[in-house]
Chain A
Amino acid sequence: MRTRTIRAWSWVHKWSSLISTVFLLMLCITGLPLVFTHEIEEVLLHQQWEPARSDGSKLNLDQVLEVALSRHPGDVAAFMSFDEERPVVNVTSVDPKGPAGVYNFQPIDQTSGEAAPPVAGHPVMEFLLQLHTHMFLGLPGMLFLGAMGLFLIAALVSGVVLYAPFMRRLPFGTVRASKAARTRWLDYHNLLGAVTLAWVLVVGVTGVVNTLATPIIAFWKDTALKELTAAYDAPVAAGERASLDAAVKRAQAALPGMRLQFVAFPGSDYSTDHHYAVFFHGDTPLTMHMTTPALIDARTGDLAAVAPMPWYVKTLSLSQPLHFGDYGGLGLKILWALLDIAMIVILISGLYLWLAKRKKTS
């Protein structure tokens, strides 16, 4: 490789890394406990709980919704989701006059309507998650971190290119441990980078895709769902909506064999102003992460459409497990953690190498 080419790639590697390192470090450090969110919350939120009734009688979904909204007068329903292991329905509602993005989340015992203890959403984990996804800055924060992810990808590509001239006289894996600190850490940096590349690239690219979740979902609503709303001008008042319970049953009949995941209410992020969007997922490993909504007209309760997701929403759906590492049991999570630690060492050694080089040249 010619000296000028090497210099250009060094420039790309240096600046893409310098700009993003502090944010990538924050992402790696907060990501480490987040990998184990489920396990940590199981410990932190552990509480003995039994449903109030065990005779199998349950409230219907309209009753659950009514109970939930009566506890937060003035709220409107946004989402309803369903626990897999407990007869618990989770209602997420929002005060339309309150600050944006502030939701009330209530797990409700479907056998009695009483509040059930939460199994997710511990404040510490929520804090870490928000720091990790948007640094408490909402959409701009998310997009900013997406941009940092693009810098990471540039640093990876330039790192691969620069690996060749650095390694042209060293057999793979060489660590010159007896040499000066700068040489030693250069070898660690190169070795760690070379062996972890695939994982870092996958987590980096899927992280960038995940930062685009809001625009991706908004685009989907504006295009794929648009024609469904053409017939209506104003949304129907919440009190005049068709039965939610019947809507979910209608949707289940339209998608037999699929598993109910959640309901997005009219006017929420994942639906139109005029429909209940009832989301299902499959039960094979691949389709587990793929959702398909059935849209039920909130006025009439009729099935308006089954809307399989377009490729860009499917890409987003697959990017989530590949970023979180939560799809292959505890073994995969432990690897996620170890590789994450390797990434932290790469970031810090890179920073050190830059500082050491500056000191030497000045």
Chain B
Amino acid sequence: MTNTTTSREVTQPNVMGDAALVFRREFLSRITSNIFLATFAFALAMIIGGVIFFKVMQETDSDTVGLVGDQPAGAAEALPQLAEDAGFGAVEVETFDSREALEEAITSGDVQVGVVDGDELVVKTNEGTLPGFLALIWKEARVAELVNSPDFEAGQQQAVASATSELPLTELEPDPESEAKAGVGIALVVMLFLTIQLVGSMLMLSITEEKGNNIVELLLSSMSAKSLLLGKLAANGLVGLIQVVAMIGTTIVAVNVADLADIPTIPSSLLLVALLWFILGFAFFGVLIAAAASLAPSQEDAQSVMTPIIIVLLIGYMASFFVTANPGGSAERIVSLLPFVSPFVMPARFLSDELPIWEHVLALAIAVAALAGALQLGSRIYTRSVIHTDRKLGWLEAFRAEPVR
């Protein structure tokens, strides 16, 4: 009964054409879903709100000048009024017992400029015009003190020269951007993690919906499981990509426009690097999430099968904080090459200037190799388990099962 006319061509499934149809439906469905729109709006509002908050805080904050040791007479007393007249706003003066205590207050940000023994300025980072203004007042006070001294006599050139000499400036943290960059780096890690997690959840829900509602049987009567997987990954990946572009783009524009002190100008190339790593990260985790979701017959059962993937995702996320704390450390550099860590942390390392090109290329090569493995494993599991809507399958059982369609 079966075909004997083997010379006739057997029609192969149109994998890409079917995947494109799945992609279109899935993308439109996700991008207009309430969960996506709400999260998207919330994230952008948080970013813009955060930047505005910092800007307002910086503009309304009063500065504090810390003193330790002897000071020229009248300088400290005159400072608040002079500063206000000169347009520096409110400036407070605080006296410390020791240089150590003063430096601690400067490092923590409680004190902006310190004056030690009336002849040395101490700042966290040399920026702004307040230190120069202080130097001017202190010099004038020293001169006035000298001139008004009963012992002062004309011709004391050395004493005058000393009084009018520049006050040396000591910086406690000469690289102002390292900390700020670390902060932006952490924000990047959080954005990438949240996006991969959000889009991964949408992918999981989409797969379990099709299994739970038995739509998958109808779908697989029309296309291969590979098309279905491909279309879903691409659609949810694009949704995530849009979210990443919007969040990082908004951050770059908002920070640069607001011109916040202490925060470096963010290079636009960061966006490309972040996108590249998002694609690698989402593809890696996405295909594993799809495989795990395909094992469960319903959304209720999905949580337990997702646990191993969630744990790996969280380990990668936590490890990223370890790396961003000291991006140049040896252990941190090795950890950042792991394929479940690198997608979160590499953009932050790129921003920190602690990422040699060879290391970036190595991390990409490892990530691509791991992705190839994940795609093999994930698509094998998915194509074998997605049709089973009656019960939950184990990873090993699905791995060994015969493929359907």
Q: Do A and B bind each other?
A: no
Chain A interface residues (CB < 8 Å from chain B):
none
- Chain B interface (Cβ within 8 Å of chain A)? none
